[in-house]
Amino acid sequence: MSVDSVAAGASGKEAVRRPASKRRWRDSDLWWSFTRSKLTVVSAVVTAVIVVSALLAPVIAPYDPTDLSSLSLLDAMIPPAWEADGSWSHPFGTDDQGRDMLSAILYGARISLVVGAASVVLAMLLGVALGLVAGYFGGWLDTVIMRLADVQLSFPAILIALLIDGVAKTALPRDLQSSAAIAVVIGAIALSYWVHFARTVRGSTLVERGKEYVQAAYVTGVHPLAIMLRHVLPNVLGPVLVIATINLAQAILTEATLSFLGLGVPATQPSLGTLIRIGNNFLFSGEWWIAMFPGATLALLALAVNLLGDWLRDALNPKLR
């Protein structure tokens, strides 16, 4: 808000400023270390391809796997195109209900990504807010929040997600269950991942709070909320970005695990995990493609995002430059 009002007052300067910020990005250490690492560039490309094709699934997918009327059991269990009985009308084959695997994977990746991203964003909002409050105000508030985090950290995230998912499903009325299923999964994963954000942000907040620019703002009479949001927050966000990237891969895997166990998203909107679960039933009867293609997509996506997170962590760490 503040930058805008200044820019409005000095619109002449604005024109000079914009290209400079673009040049700064091109000259930045981040861009330099990105282009230098082949692995990172490949990971970024793989991630981008999966994300874009998942988002464009309704446009590029050859069939609509959610449209039950278009399914025909006559098409069931067709192997991939390059196998003996395969056909190019279903390049990755079909499952037991005659769904085109390629389309199912595209739609499934979409749900996996949406659930993963939404739960990480939610976990980030929750964790950053609680971490900021704990670090800035300290005292009993800090004690309560951080002990809660410690308790939660002593359980595996998947266990907590299972617990929340189970409780929510029991608590919700039956007719709401399938429509709220995705929201429940997002909430369950978010509540099991906020701890990482909260702990990191609390630590950085403690450091920043002791610095003189925060004290200067206090002496000026700035509202504590404004000090937290406008002074401390921008200075603690670096590590948050790294955790968010790494947690994105974990959240996607957690969602897949929940769906594999039959607790995640409903079977009418299959995610990658649901597809793997369905395929798992046929793995030993020879129909390997139903589990293998969604599994490979999931592994590739998680690996690429994880590698991006690793790179970001190193690139933002001044000690490793």
Partner 1 sequence: MPEPLLRASGLVRYFDVSAPWLNRVLERKPRAVVKAVDGIDFEIGRGETFSLVGESGCGKSTVARLAVGLYRPTRGRIEFDGTDLATVGSRREMLPIRRRLQMIFQDPYASLNPRWRVREIIAEPLRTHRLLSGAALDERVDELLTQVKLDPADGEKYPHEFSGGQRQRISIARALAANPEFLVADEPTSALDVSVQAQILNLMKDLQRDLGLTYLFISHNLAVVSHVSDRVGVMYLGRLVEVGEAREIFRAPRHPYTRLLLDTIPDLKMTRREREPVGGEVPSPIDPPEGCAFHPRCPFANERCRRERPELLAAGKSAVACHAAEEGRL
> Which residues of the shown chain bind partner 1 in the complex (CB under 8 A)?
2-3, 5-6, 8-10, 13, 17, 211-213, 215-224, 231, 234-235
Closest separation between CB of residue 231 and partner 1, Å? 6
Closest separation between CB of residue 109 and partner 1, Å? 36
Closest separation between CB of residue 237 and partner 1, Å? 9
Q: How far apart are CA 219 and CA 233, in angstroms?
A: 19
Residue with smaller CB distance to partner 1, 206 or 222: 222
Residue with smaller CB distance to partner 1, 9 or 156: 9
Closest separation between CB of residue 311 and partner 1, Å? 23
Closest separation between CB of residue 216 and partner 1, Å? 6
Residue with smaller CB distance to partner 1, 240 or 301: 240
Q: What is the CA radius of gyration of the chain?
A: 24
Residue with smaller CB distance to partner 1, 154 or 220: 220
Closest separation between CB of residue 24 and partner 1, Å? 10
Residue with smaller CB distance to partner 1, 2 or 170: 2
Q: How far apart are CA 96 and CA 277, in angstroms?
A: 12
Q: How far apart are CA 298 and CA 104, in angstroms?
A: 13
Residue with smaller CB distance to partner 1, 8 or 320: 8
